[in-house]
Structure 1
Amino acid sequence: MAYSVKNSAVVKVAGLSVAMLLAGCSHDQHYKREVNGNEEYLDAPALSQLNVPQGMILPLESGNYVVPQGRSQGAVGKQLDIRPPMQALSLLNGSRAQFQGTTGTLQIANTGSSLWGQTIAALRANNFAIAQQDDAGQQLTTDWISWNRPDEDHQYRGRYQVSVVTQGYEQTLMVKPLALEQKGQAVTSPSEIQRYTAQLLNVISAQINTVETNRQNAAAASRTGMIDVQSGADDTGLANLIIRAPFDVTWQRLPKALPLAGMTISDSNRADGSLQVSYSDLSSSQWAALGATDPQLVEGKYKLQVGDLGNRSSLQFIDPKGHILTQSQNDALVAVLQAALNK
């Protein structure tokens, strides 16, 4: 019994030590910004004058091999911030993002849409408070925006001037920093000011891009109407399904359609057009409600590969054993997917 009590105490102390260590580490984010390795190079001796023994004749000197003396005035070792500068991203079609000093700009074609209205909506969608707003001049000043980055020990907050300038066929969104603080102290480092100015510019453009993408997808879906599904084959002769709708529309409708066919999505990757699903057979009443018959698939995990064929899409099923479904299995899924996609 004495041993078990002692052992328990040791475990508790060890557990407490680990918890304290983790708690301490959770507040120290320097490791995300500093060089990984030792700093012995900082202790390297400085260059010294070559002492030539008396009577030795040296070859002629060449300036090509002279190492210039240099003095570093910036941070070194663990104090050096190795993070790359934040870049302003051109997320919108046909846009150009750049920096002029610490002011970020995003230039896009003037398509007639209100970039100013989209900017206001983007700020509100991200809960960024506006201190002053001039709709006539298309210029505003934000309230303090508190940033939350996992690579900072102490978070920053900033205030910005946001404006939209329209010139002919081009609109320019400008984000100018007014103040940046950390721990209540003003930050004057140009790289840090640019980092958080770029972050606001990217947040705005990302939100505008998301809204525009959703609008285009909804418009495409409404134009498509009923979707036809046919059985087919790829270039290698392997069976697949052909969906008479563009990739964007197909990808948008699948998350709602597949569960109606007993397929639950566990993972998806639009970049490579893949979906991971788990299939469970439906009851006879559920198949009847869908308006299709049981395709007699084996229950389990399937991979779906969606291909872009221009105005059509391909859909290929890979069963739990890694085999592509046969032609007859795809034929059985035609009515099922057509009913599910058009519900």
Structure 2
Amino acid sequence: MAYSVKNSAVVKVAGLSVAMLLAGCSHDQHYKREVNGNEEYLDAPALSQLNVPQGMILPLESANYAVPQGRAQGAVGKQLDIRPPVQALSLLNGSRAQFQGSTGLLQIANTGTSLWGQTVAALQANKFAIAQQDDARQQLTTDWISWNRQDEDHQYRGRYQVAVVAQGYEQTLMVKPIALEQKGQAVTSNTEIQRYTAQLLNDISAQLNTAETDRRNAAAANRVGSVDVQSGADETGLPNLIVRAPFDVTWQRLPKALPLAGMTVSDSNRADGSLQLSYSNLSSSQWAALGAKDPDLAEGKYKLQVGDLDNRSSLQFIDPKGHILTQSQNDALVAVLQAALNK
């Protein structure tokens, strides 16, 4: 008994030490910005003049291999911030993003839609407070925006001027920094100012892209109406299901349709068209309400791969054992998915 008590005390002390160590590491974020390795190179001796013994004849010198003399200015060693600058991203189709001095610019084709209204909505969706807004001039000033980056020991906050300028066939979204602070002190580093200006520009651009995708999906869904599902096969002959609707429509409907068939979506990745599912069989009354028969699938975790076939989409289910569903299993799912997708 005495041994077990002592052992427990040691475990508690060790656990407390680890917790304190992790707490200390979680506060100090320098390791995310520092070069990994020692700093012995900083102690390397400077180049010296070659002393040639009297009477020795050296080969002809070539300037091709001469090491230029100079002294670098700025931070070195662990003080050097190795993070690359944040780049302004062109997330919208046909857009161009760039910087002019410290101002971030996003140039978009003028399609007749109100970029100004969409920009204000994007700021509100990101919960960025607006201090002053002039709709007539299409410009506003944000309140202080508190940034939260996990690679900073002390967080930054900034204020910005946001404006939309229409020029011929283009609309330009402009984000200009007004002030940037860290620990209550003004920040003058051009690198940090551009980093957080680009952060705001990219946040707005990402929200604009999301809104545009939602509008496109809704329009496509309204055009298609009801969809048909058929049993088929891919180019290698493996069984799959074919949905007579474009990928955007199919992807939009699946999260609402699959739970009606007993399939709960736990994760999804539009980029590679995959969904992680958990299947639980429905009751007889639930199948009757859906208007389909029990497909007799094994309960468990499934993966659904959605393919883009232009005006159609493919669905390929992978069962809990990692096997693609057979032709007969897909045949049983045709009526189930057609009923669920059209609910």
**1:89-121 deviations in Å (ceiling 9; x for gaps):** 001111000001111000001111111111111
Partner of 2:158: 158
Partner of 2:319: 319
Partner of 2:223: 223
Matched, 1:270 2:270: yes
> Alignment partner of 2:271: what SS?
coil
Matched, 1:175 2:175: yes
Matched, 1:30 2:33: no
**1:187-239 deviations in Å (ceiling 9; x for gaps):** 11111100000001011111111111111111211221111111222222222
Measure the CA separation in 1 of the matches of 2:151 and 2:164.
31
Matched residues, number: 343
> Alignment partner of 1:304: what SS?
strand
- The residue identity in structure 1 corresponding to 2:288 is A
- Cα distance change on mapping 1:7 and 1:230 into 2, 3 Å: closer
- The residue identity in structure 2 corresponding to 1:216 is R
Matches within 5 A, 1:137-286: 137-286=137-286
Partner of 1:300: 300
Measure the CA separation in 1 of the matches of 2:324 and 2:10.
55
Partner of 2:70: 70
**1:224-276 deviations in Å (ceiling 9; x for gaps):** 11111112222222222111111011011111111111112222221121222
Matched, 1:51 2:90: no
- Cα distance change on mapping 1:86 and 1:7 into 2, 3 Å: same
1:158 to partner: Cα distance: 0.7
Structure 1: state its 5+ residue gaps: none
- The residue identity in structure 2 corresponding to 1:260 is L
1:292 to partner: Cα distance: 0.6
Partner of 1:135: 135
Partner of 1:120: 120
Measure the CA separation in 1 of the matches of 2:71 and 2:219.
61
Greater mean deviation of Cα atoms: 26-35 or 297-306: 297-306
**Same amino acid, percent of matched pairs:** 90
Measure the CA separation in 2 of the matches of 1:17 and 1:44.
38
**1:166-201 deviations in Å (ceiling 9; x for gaps):** 011110000111111111111111111000000010
- The residue identity in structure 2 corresponding to 1:252 is Q
**1:300-338 deviations in Å (ceiling 9; x for gaps):** 222222111111111122223333222222221111111
Instruction: Give the alignment's Cα RMSD to 1 decimal.
Output: 1.5
Q: Could you list the runs of 4 or more consecutive aligned residues of structure 1 that deviate by over 3 angstroms after TM superposition? A: 1-9
1:2 to partner: Cα distance: 4.5
Greater mean deviation of Cα atoms: 287-296 or 319-328: 319-328
- The residue identity in structure 2 corresponding to 1:269 is N
Question: TM-score, normalising length from structure 1?
Answer: 0.96
> Alignment partner of 1:271: what SS?
helix
Greater mean deviation of Cα atoms: 29-38 or 327-336: 327-336
Measure the CA separation in 1 of the matches of 2:68 and 2:255.
64
Structure 2: state its 5+ residue gaps: none
- The residue identity in structure 2 corresponding to 1:338 is Q
- The residue identity in structure 2 corresponding to 1:31 is Y
- The residue identity in structure 2 corresponding to 1:288 is A
Greater mean deviation of Cα atoms: 118-127 or 263-272: 263-272
Measure the CA separation in 1 of the matches of 2:100 and 2:169.
21
Greater mean deviation of Cα atoms: 294-303 or 306-315: 294-303
- The residue identity in structure 2 corresponding to 1:102 is S
> Alignment partner of 2:55: what SS?
coil
1:139 to partner: Cα distance: 1.3
1:58 to partner: Cα distance: 2.4
